[in-house]
Amino acid sequence: MSKLALFGGEKTRSHPFPAYNTMGEAETEAVLRVMKSGVLSRYQGSWGEDFLGGPEVLAFEKEWSTHFGSKHTVAVNSNSSGLQLALGACGVGYGDEVIVTPYSICVSATAPLVWNATPVFADIDPNTLGLSADSIRRCLSPRTKAILVVHLFGCPADMDEILTLAREHKLHVIEDCAQCPDATYKGKKAGTLGDIGVFSLNYHKHIHTGEGGMCTTNDDALARKMQLIRNHAEAVVGPMGETELTNMIGYNFRLTELQAAIGRVQLTKLAGEVATRQKYAKAVIDALEPYDFIQSQKLHDRTHAYYTHPLLFDANRCGVSRERFVEAVRAELAPFAGLEHEGVPVNQAYVKPLYHLPLFQKRMAYKDGFPFTGKEKYEAGTSPVAEEMHSRRLWSHKFAIGSLSEDDVQDAIRGFRKVCEHIKELRV
Ligand SMILES: Cc1ncc(COP(=O)(O)O)c(C=O)c1O
């Protein structure tokens, strides 16, 4: 095998990989259909025929429910709004604690603050990278109201254990499914296991509408509350005769007809996209199997949606740091076309555990430190597994996405393997 590109050898792949673009003719036609109708959004923030949105939104919600096997779907303008809806509908409020993961995008931990509840960080499981049930148990208190689970990178968390715990303690479970559409756990789709599942349709996701989100639930009352909070609840509860007023503060979290029309077409592509990602990720896993310093997640009773493909690195087994390994892999490969500014899509770590954010370190969300009590545990080391993933173990790549050909994936694999074969040369 030739010299490593890091040391001046030839790159394994120097021309860019194909850009990711899930949009096609059908989406253009759907947009034109809505444009020609002139009705780009049909919502009215008052109790009446248009309170629940126009025909595209209603059809999209119905089709989403059918695809995911949920009784209800509530369309919103982002996953972030959806998490807010979900927590609000579950009655989360001042004085409550919500157990969250430190290893996700910030909104998975900050959403409870919007309702003046405080986030409590449990630790993650080193295999699923989602919340560990044991760690959740250690974080329970009389104030705990809900658990916000993130199925990180597309891998469902250990839901049986988490749901058992939630039932024992009468807690709501919200699943953040932004990264895991169509992933399954024991044969059921993620997003239908807890009380509410919240999906993202932002540009970076498996399928998208530019921005957008979908909330699934089997519970009639939770669905109704989410519909209310989505669309100016306070103006609507009176006319509709709703007497429970907790969290009935309305927002405008409405998805437009244009986005819904695009989403309906995108949804038909989801299963194919996820199947392709699973096939490509498996090719990478099989190719890296001989190298004992790289480990894959064990999936047995679940399927992964591979938003990105996470792998673990063991520096003790090869005498090379994760940083050096990732640097060498990046040197071998090329970026995605049009995304050259992002560099080669191979990353180390993910996010710094979220309690390191100034918001938590300074306990400053609203005026005068409200709603923090000062007793929250946000110091470094709060979640040792997440810290270890961040500082030493986790690396990930995007060479499993559906816009790639089999040959593209093989190029990425050749790059990975070349570095693995030369690993000793990376020791310093
Ligand atoms: C796990 C997770 N949760 C929430 C979000 C927020 O999604 P949105 O941009 O739709 O608000 C994202 C977006 O990247 C995410 O990855």
Q: Percent of the chain scored above 90 by pLDDT?
A: 98
Give the helix ranges, DSSP H, for 73-158: 79-89, 107-114, 133-139
* DSSP classification of residue 40: S
Q: What are phi and psi of 339, to 5 degrees?
A: -120, 30
Local confidence band at 1 (pLDDT 50, 70, 90 cut-offs): low
* DSSP classification of residue 131: B
Single pTM value for the model: 0.97
Tokens of 148: 């916000």
Residue with CA closest to ligand 1 atom 7? 79
Are 51 and 231 in contact, with CB atoms under 8 Å apart?
yes
Q: Is the CB of 200 under 6 A from ligand 1?
A: yes
Q: What is the mean pLDDT of the chain?
A: 97
* Ligand 1 centroid from CA 80, angstroms: 6
Strand partners, 146: 98, 172
Q: Is the CB of 150 under 6 A from ligand 1?
A: yes
Cis peptide before 156 (omega within 30 of 0): no
Tokens of 238: 């009176």
- The best mutation among 124, 152, 179 to test binding of ligand 1, ranked by most ligand atoms within 8 Å of the C-beta, falls on 179
Are 133 and 158 in contact, with CB atoms under 8 Å apart?
yes
- d(CA 197, CA 108) in angstroms, rounded, equals 13
Residue with CA closest to ligand 1 atom 15? 178
372-400 pLDDT, tens per residue?
999 999 999 999 999 999 999 999 999 99
* Ligand 1 centroid from CA 213, angstroms: 9
61-108 pLDDT, tens per residue?
999 999 999 999 999 999 999 999 999 999 999 999 999 999 999 999
The atom of ligand 1 lying closest to the CA of 211 is: 10
Local confidence band at 428 (pLDDT 50, 70, 90 cut-offs): confident
The atom of ligand 1 lying closest to the CA of 81 is: 11
Place of tokens 């669309």: 231
* Ligand 1 centroid from CA 100, angstroms: 14
Residue with CA closest to ligand 1 atom 12? 178
- d(CA 41, CA 56) in angstroms, rounded, equals 9
Place of tokens 């995304």: 339
Q: What is the mean pLDDT of residues 164-172?
A: 98
**pLDDT of 409 over the 80 cut:** yes
Local confidence band at 250 (pLDDT 50, 70, 90 cut-offs): confident
Are 207 and 233 in contact, with CB atoms under 8 Å apart?
no
Place of tokens 């089709």: 63
Q: What is the mean pLDDT of residues 339-367?
A: 96
Tokens of 294: 């790289």
Are 82 and 105 in contact, with CB atoms under 8 Å apart?
no
In the chain, the domains with their CATH numbers are 25-122+129-266 (3.40.640.10), 271-352+382-426 (3.90.1150.10)
- d(CA 329, CA 343) in angstroms, rounded, equals 12
* Ligand 1 centroid from CA 157, angstroms: 17
Residue 231, Cβ density class (10 Å: 0-12 exposed, 13-18 middle, ≥19 buried): buried
Q: How many CB atoms lie within 10 A of CB 253?
A: 22
225-245 pLDDT, tens per residue?
999 999 999 999 999 999 999
Instruction: List strands edge to edge, sheet with 213-217.
Output: 72-76, 213-217, 196-200, 172-176, 144-150, 97-100, 118-121
* Ligand 1 centroid from CA 385, angstroms: 22
* Ligand 1 centroid from CA 290, angstroms: 34
Coil/strand/helix, residue 177: coil
String of b and e for 42-60 (b: at least 16 CB within 10 Å)? bbebebeeebbbbebbeeb
Q: Is the CB of 84 under 6 A from ligand 1?
A: no
* DSSP classification of residue 6: G
The atom of ligand 1 lying closest to the CA of 152 is: 1
Higher pLDDT: 47 or 1? It is 47
* Ligand 1 centroid from CA 190, angstroms: 15
Q: Is the CB of 202 under 6 A from ligand 1?
A: yes
How many residues make up the chain in this entry?
A: 428
How many alpha carbons lie under 13 Å from residue 206 in its C-beta half-sphere?
Answer: 29
